[in-house]
Amino acid sequence: MSSFLPQDVLTDILARLPFKTILQCRCVSKTWYSLISSTTFATHHLNKTTKTKNSDILLFRYCSGESNGEIEHYFLYQDDGFPDNHLEELDCPFKRTRYGFSNIVGSCDGVFCLVDYGFGYNDRAVLWNPSIRKTVRIPRPNVTFTSHRSFVHSLGFGFDSISNDYKLVRVVYLQDCSFGFDEVPPMVEVYTMRRGCWRMITNDLKYVIREQSACAFLNGACHWIGYNSLDRDEPRHATVAFNLGDEVFVQMAVPDCLVWDDFIDISFTVFDGMLSLVPCKKWLWEETSCSVWVMKEYGVGESWTKLFNIEHLEGIQRLVAFRENNEVLLAGEHGELISYDPNTNNWDCKLFGDVDSFYLDTFVESLVLLSEADRVLVENTSGNGEGEY
């Protein structure tokens, strides 16, 4: 019967089916298999899914201390069932090594970018789509310990709507003669999923992005907090954005009152569709002070607005996530996952785990990566400190 239907009509019908049914439909015929496995269908399905409903499924990752050591868990939750009643525990093929758990750079369209910083310079990385149980290995970058010796770096992940491709950007600072990592501009390379390789790009970035800084993806750009350690005439802190389409850095202001402060943590996230900044600081003998800011008009520094302060909480290390119910999740210095209500200032501890392992984001069922070939990551046993790809 499908042979009598125009392909665009068949595509629209199949994209409306339940997700598991779509995957099963690949077995109907070679024509359906080819259609459903195409990047065009994956994009059509994703657009229809995101327009018709908001995801109320959450993906939560944390490391728990157990009798046989720390165990890395990935759970799916209904939004109203977190954290007591999980729907499913996912089998992530890229779990922690013996040197630590993997770092989640970010997620986009149901695809998660995971990196194993591991021991030394073992920078294994993959793209993982839990919906289709698909993992795509990212090859070794150009800048490594072997090629350039000591360095620090940060990563950003997102989707470039201009090239219709997923990209991973890597900002690398080499060690200088005084054993610091503050020389600018840094070395920057970009991985594109379709090409499957890294390439170096030129840049004029004058700010330093700290090692493994959290990145927020919004409006086609990756955002980090940038530090100025050299030029005293420039602001000490600034917003550093990397546009994935143009592949250029843009500098934007932070709120005036945060330009010169010191923080135990300051990072970007996305709150209600706006770029959000959450600085946490602590003076001697004082409780931790955190605040939540949003950029009301993207790209306009004067539009930064403080939403609320997070008060009367000791030992806060960083923000974990904002919830749809206005709950704020925070990581405490003793491994607590803390739920904070900004309306009442009430808080409670949800669970305990490794403070740096907490990660929470919405979960989207998508077919992205379905057409990509599986690329298996081979563990390095040579002991040279770098992962084999």
Say if CB 125 and CB 114 are below 8 A apart: yes
pLDDT at position 387 over 70:
no
Quickly tell me which residue has 């306009």 as its tokens. 300
Q: Which residue has the higher pLDDT, 31 or 183?
A: 31
Host H or E run for residue 106: strand 103-108
Gap between the Cα atoms of 155 and 159, Å rounded: 14
pLDDT per position as a tens digit, 31-72:
999 999 999 999 999 998 876 655 689 999 999 876 455 788
Quickly tell me which residue has 């996952």 as its tokens. 337
pLDDT per position as a tens digit, 275-311:
999 998 766 556 678 899 999 999 999 999 999 998 7
Percent of the chain with pLDDT over 90: 61
pLDDT per position as a tens digit, 234-267:
778 899 999 999 999 999 999 988 887 777 788 8
Q: What is the pLDDT of residue 96?
A: 60
The pTM assigned to this predicted structure is 0.90
φ, ψ dihedrals at 25, nearest 5°: -65, -15
Q: Give the CA-trace dihedral at 240, 244, 246, 250, to 10 degrees.
A: -10
pLDDT at position 322 over 90:
yes
Q: Under 8 Å CB-to-CB from 191, ≥6 apart: which residues? A: 138, 139, 141, 167, 168, 169, 170, 197, 198
Mean pLDDT of 314-322: 89
pLDDT band at 388 (very low <50, low <70, confident <90, very high): very low
Q: Under 8 Å CB-to-CB from 279, ≥6 apart: which residues? A: 258, 261, 263, 265, 266, 290, 291, 293
Q: Which residue has the higher pLDDT, 70 or 317?
A: 317
Q: What is the pLDDT of residue 2?
A: 56
Gap between the Cα atoms of 69 and 60, Å rounded: 20
Q: What is the pLDDT of residue 264?
A: 73
Range 282-291 contact pairs with CB under 8 angstroms and sequence separation of 24 or more: 287/312, 287/313, 287/314, 288/264, 288/313, 288/314, 288/315, 288/316, 290/316, 290/319, 290/330
Mean pLDDT of 169-174: 94
